[in-house]
Amino acid sequence: MSAHHRTPAWQKFTRYARPIITASLPAPCVNRCQLGGIVEPGQRFDVAHIIAPEHGGTDTLDNVGPAHARCNRSDGGKAGRTKQLAAKRTEQRLPKW
């Protein structure tokens, strides 16, 4: 979970958006889906960004949708962690001149 998703503003937005998204189910999973592509009524889902905030996405109903919890949690946050790990490995390998 990124720092953005821990903010009170995001928590408040998800409480607002979840009933609206629930009313529109069945709907396609907005992440790289591992469970068949459609979020059905009665399934657990996360409110997920279509364009991530770190890539310029906003917290609006146009930029969020349902994602299976498994899909969203396996897909989300990888870009930030990958960049941090790569920087750490580079620091360990190369001497600072």
Residue 56 has pLDDT above 80, yes or no: yes
Residue 79 has pLDDT above 60, yes or no: no
User: In this structure, what token pair is assigned to residue 60?
Assistant: 């609006």
Lowest mean pLDDT among 7-11, 19-23, 33-37, 70-74: 33-37
Q: Cis before residue 26, ω within 30 degrees of 0?
A: yes
Q: Where would I find the beta strands (DSSP E) of 1-97?
A: 27-28, 38-39, 45-49, 64-68
User: In this structure, what token pair is assigned to residue 56?
Assistant: 């310029």
Average pLDDT taken over every residue of the chain: 80
Residue 97 has pLDDT above 80, yes or no: no
Do 60 and 52 touch, CB atoms closer than 8 A?
no
